[in-house]
Amino acid sequence: MNEILMAGLMFFGLALGAQGASLLGELAPDFTMADQDGKSHTLSEYQGQKVVVYFYPKDDTPGCTKEACSIRDDYSLFEKNGIKVFGVSYDDIKSHKAFAEKYDLPFTLLSDSDKSVAKAFGADGIFMPSRKTYLIDEAGIIRKIYENVTPTGHGPEILADFAAMATPTKD
C-alpha cells in the first residue's frame, strides 16, 4: 500500500512540475532570494553572464550532497568559463549555511522558502522542489532544462552542455 501511495505522490509531483519544459527558449523568470549568508541575489542582475539555476530537494541528503559536490569539484571550471551557479531549495538560510560549510560549497545556495521561484520555473513540489537544472545564457534566456538529473556527474554535464552551446555549428 505504501508503494502505491508513494507512486501516486511522485506522479502528482511530476505533474505539478510539468510546466518547466515550456520555459525553454524563454526569458528566465526573475527572482530575488537570500543566500546562505543572508545576502540578496536578483537573477536579472546577472544578465551578461551564463547562469545555472539548479533546484534540489533538501540540504544534506545523499542525492543532493552528491549533486552539490559534483558541481563543487569542477567549480574552478565554472569560474573560468564565467558561469554563476545558484542552488535552490525550500530550506532556510541557516540550513543552507550549514550545508555549504559542511561540504565546502563555493557557490551560492538560495532559500525559496515561499516556494514561489520553484513554481515560476516549474520545479515546485508539495514538500520539496523537483530536482531540475536550468542553463541560462548571457541574454537571460533558458537554453537547456534538465528534467531528470543524475546527481553524480552533473557538474561535468553542465560544463559540457554550456561548451556545446558556445561552439558554432558547421552547416
Question: What CATH number corresponds to the domain at position 58?
Answer: 3.40.30.10
Residue 10: how many other CB atoms lie within 10 Å: 11
Is the model's pLDDT at 51 over the cut of 50?
Answer: yes
Decide: residue 98, CB within 10 A, 0-12 exposed, 13-18 middle, 19+ buried: middle
Predicted pLDDT at 31: 98
Place of cell 541557516: 94
**19-40 per-residue burial string, b: 16 or more CB within 10 A, e: under 16:** ebeebeeeebbebebbbbeeee
| Residues forming the active site | 64
In a domain, 171, yes or no: no
* Burial of 164 from C-beta contacts in 10 A (0-12 / 13-18 / 19+): exposed
Under the banding of pLDDT at 50, 70 and 90, the label for residue 50 is very high
Half-sphere exposure of 69 (CA within 13 A, CB side): 12
- Per-residue confidence (pLDDT) for residue 36, from 0 to 100: 97
pTM of the model: 0.85
Q: Is residue 7 part of a domain?
A: yes
Mean pLDDT estimate for the chain: 88
Q: How many domains does the chain have?
A: 1
In this structure, is residue 119 part of a structural domain?
A: yes
Phi, psi of 40 (to 5 degrees): -85, 140
Question: In this predicted structure, what is the pLDDT of residue 166?
Answer: 77
Do residues 23 and 140 touch, judged by C-beta distance below 8 A?
Answer: no
Q: Is residue 59 part of a domain?
A: yes
Residue type for position 130: S
**H-type alpha helices, 49-153:** 62-73, 75-80, 93-102, 116-121
Range of the domain at 57: 2-166
Kindly report, residue by residue over 84-130, the tens digit of the pLDDT.
999 999 999 999 999 999 999 999 999 999 999 999 999 998 899 99
